[in-house]
Amino acid sequence: MSKKLTIGMFGFGVVGQGLYDIIKTKNLNLEIKKFVIKNADKARSLPASLFTTDAEAILADPTINTVVELIDDAEAAYTITVRALKSGKNVVSANKKMIATHLAELAEIQQQYGTSLLYEGAVCGSIPIIRNLEEYYDNELLHAVSGIFNGSSNYILSKVFNEGQAYGDALKKAQELGFAETDPTLDVGGYDPKYKLAIVASHAYGTYIDPELILNLGIDKLGDQDIRFAKEKNLKIKLIPKAQEVNGEHVVLYVLPQFIGSDNMLFNVENENNGVLVKAAFADEQFFYGKGAGGHPTGSAVLSDIAALRYDYKYEYKKHLEASSLVYSNDYELKVYLRYTDDSLVEKLAFTEIIERYYAPDFKYIIGHINLQQLINHRSAIHQDGVFLAGIS
């Protein structure tokens, strides 16, 4: 029999409202006792007595055994989560930055205090990738995990390539629909998928990796020449994070725009949808597809975690217990396309092989192989205006 959950929820935004919409349609053994919100004056769809701005109304209430954290402040989310876990409350969170940045410590706290932190909703919306990595692939050697982890940037790229919209117009529409924030840097700059990739890599390869060490290049420097280049070759550009094992000893992680063809399963993942590709030694290649943005898709993943807590579910971090856990490395060669204006950048990046080079008055690009560490060493130069770098599959 499932135990009753008495829930305190931090945040009642898009995901919080979506979660509540789903919960009220279900006959579950749970009760939401209190919501902690930031703006007390904002009109709410529920009785005012359920809302407070005082975090202690949840954290200090011994009758609340489950905390659901759905706020956008990573440091505040961290403080709430640590306090709750140490006081014997289980936590469900969707804050990918907080989890990716503090995952090693949070795993240790769970072990020490016998509590559980679940975060399926932090990675790829409605796609249950964390639970599958924990349970289905727990005894698998995974060659690679990659995909489209960010619905906002994918929506923009879909509009650019499928409807011919200008990048700026597509971004504005994504913001109007709530897929992208007023400051879209986390999404289009590749930071959001980087945090998600760090979480995925922990469950796939048993290694805690500081997200700050992972190269993330986004689509914010995408130009008309790059779009034309892709279309002429019947390719699309997708923002793809990737974790890959190398020789059974190392794991490499990076987030890059990628030119992909129609033979790639991610080619037809459009709009706010996400897709995850898992390449395994025994299960071979498998593909997960689903909504990656929006209140109801993410809310469904959060509810799945809440429901699992009724049966005392915990992540076991099984890959971390294996003696053969892989070591993180940036010593890996990538095939890339680089559009540039300053010839000195090409010399600085030190390509190991140049396959193709093109010069025109308004368009210069180079295709070749380069070491991942070189890209990390010169990431500030790559982020300059007039430069766009993408991987080539």
Residue of 314, 316, 302, 297 whose CA lies nearest to 30: 302
Catalytic residue of the set 89, 196, 221, 291: 196
Residue of 66, 15, 33, 54 whose CA lies nearest to 307: 66
196 is a catalytic site residue: yes
CA angle 385, 387, 389 (to 5 degrees): 140
Residue 205's φ and ψ, nearest 5 degrees, are -125, 0
Tokens of 209: 């990796």
| Dist CA 124 CA 128 (whole Å) | 8
Q: How far is CA 17 from CA 20, 45, 162, 298, 356, in A?
A: 5, 9, 32, 11, 51
Neighbours of 61 (CB within 10 A): 15
Tokens 């940045």, located at residue? 101
What does 138-167 look like in DSSP terms, one character per residue? TTPPEEEEEEE--HHHHHHHHHHHHH---H
Q: In terms of C-beta density within 10 A (0-12 exposed, 13-18 middle, 19 or more buried), how is residue 380 classed?
A: exposed
What does 309-365 look like in DSSP terms, one character per residue? HTTT-----GGGGSTTPPEE----EEEEEEE-S-HHHHHHHT-SEEEEEEEETTEEE
Catalytic center residues: 196
